[in-house]
Amino acid sequence: MSDSPISIDQHTLSEEDQSSETKQLLTNTAHHRPLRSFVIRAGRLTTSQKEALDKYWVDYVIEQTKQLLDPEQVFGRKAPLVVEIGFGMGDSLAEMAMANPDKDYIGIEVHRPGVGKLLNTIAVNEITNLRIYCHDAVEILRDCIADHSLAGVQIFFPDPWHKKKHHKRRLIQPAFVEKLTAKLQPGGFIHLATDWQHYAEHMLEVMQANPALHNTAGADTWASHTGRPETKFERRGHRLGHGVWDLVYTFNPPQP
């Protein structure tokens, strides 16, 4: 990311040069704006999603500040902490949280209707081991999640960004996986799933290139029977005749 202030040496440039140089720097700076893995869709909020956002936000949404999260303070206990990035409508995340009361979960999502939906599910089911960030996960990981603090990270059906010119928007890239890995405790997991074969192959390549990550299914192999609940996006893929590819890696820190 390069949002650094523009500085040009005013003394060494003619007025005309200065203006073209400034334009060029401005253009370059605009091009260096962080490339997001999402676009905020104008999706309409249902009445119950809106009510849930109004009513339950204070109880279950962690406000994004540049402060590190203190999970013990948030959950009132010490337990393995799992982060899910891009939970969509959140049904499968809520199901996992209810099925694993010994773990704590943080869901990160930018899509407000999904956040409203999950808030409702949390409140109706009185789920105590799940909280939400409604913000870009890249920034949450960078600013709020301590290194070596997570038992796992799960990213189910991240936006595939089908067109080649948009592939750089895909979340799963070497630099991002490195950042994820830095957040894991030794033995922690990264669980990915996609219904897009090209992205699945890209994921495998990226994950395999990281020497600290171990494919639990064996080299070049997809994971099967992971036991995770089906997600909404996955159901849509099934209807369209898509396949599903899961990858589960564990983090083994290099020996000194």
Ligand X SMILES: C[S@@+](CC[C@H](N)C(=O)[O-])C[C@H]1O[C@@H](n2cnc3c(N)ncnc32)[C@H](O)[C@@H]1O
CA-nearest of 87, 124, 138, 122 to 108 is 87
Say if residue 159 carries a ligand binding annotation.
yes
CB burial readout 96-127, b (16+ within 10 A) else e: bbbeeeebbbbbbbbbbbbbbbbbbbbeeeeb
Q: Report the residue number, 152 or 158, with the smaller CB distance to ligand X.
A: 158
**Pick 13 or 182: Cβ nearer ligand X:** 182
- Asked whether residue 75 is marked as a ligand-binding residue, the answer is no
Interface residues toward ligand X, by CB under 6 A: 37-38, 85-88, 108-111, 114, 136-138, 156-159, 171, 231-234
Report the distance separating Cα 57 and Cα 60, nearest Å: 6
φ and ψ at residue 188, rounded to 5 degrees: -70, 160
Q: Measuring CA to CA, which residue among 162, 256, 155, 172 is closest to residue 209? A: 172
> Smallest Cα–Cα separation from 126: which of 151, 94, 154?
94
Q: How far is the CB of 159 from ligand X (least distance, A)?
A: 5
Q: Is 78 annotated as a binding residue?
A: no
Q: How far is the CB of 158 from ligand X (least distance, A)?
A: 6
Q: Which of 70, 159, 220, 246 is catalytic?
A: 159
Is 111 or 191 the residue whose CB approaches ligand X more closely?
111
Q: Quote the least distance from Cβ 110 to ligand X, whole Å.
A: 4
Shortest gap between Cβ of 54 and ligand X (angstroms)?
21
109 among the known binding-site residues? yes
Between the CA of residue 210 and those of 167, 182, 205, 220, what are the distances in Å? 20, 12, 9, 13
The reply to whether 234 sits in an annotated binding site is yes
Q: Catalytic annotation on 159?
A: yes
Nearest to 86 by CA among 143, 22, 27, 153: 153
Supply the angle between the helices 174-183 and 137-144 in degrees, to the nearest 10.
40
Q: For ligand X, give the closer residue by CB, 128 or 173.
A: 173
Q: How far is CA 80 from the centre of its chain?
A: 18
Amino acid in the structure at residue 94? A
**Binding site: which residues?**
84, 109, 136, 159, 163, 195, 231-234
The binding site for S-adenosyl-L-methionine consists of: 84, 109, 136, 159
Which residues belong to the annotated binding site for substrate? Answer: 163, 195, 231-234
Catalytically annotated residues:
159
